[in-house]
Structure 1
Amino acid sequence: MVQNGILENFSIDDYGCLRFYNRICVSDVSKLKELIFREAHDSLFALHPGGTKMYRDLLESYWWPGMKRNVVEYVAKYLTCRRVKAEHQVSTGLLQPITIPEWKWNCITMDFVTGLPLSASWERYLPLAEFAYNNSFQSGIQMAPYEALYGRRCRSPICWMKLSERKMIMPELIQETEDIVKKIRDRLKIAFDRQKSYADLKRRDIEYSIGDKKIHDVFHVSMLRRYRSDPSHVISTEDIEIQPDFSYEEKPVEILAHEVEELRNK
Structure 2
Amino acid sequence: MRILGPELVEKTIEAIYKIRSRIKTVQDRQKSYADKRIKELTFEIGEKVFLKVAQIKGILRFGKKGKVSPRFIDPFEILEKIGNVAYRLALLPDLSAMHNVFHISMLRKYISDPNHLVNVQSLDVQSDMTYEEAPAVIQGRKDHVLRN
Common topology (TM > 0.5): no
Higher gyration radius (CA): 2
Structure with greater strand share of residues = 2
TM-score (norm 2): 0.31
- Higher helix content, 1 or 2: 1
**TM-score where L is the length of structure 1:** 0.18
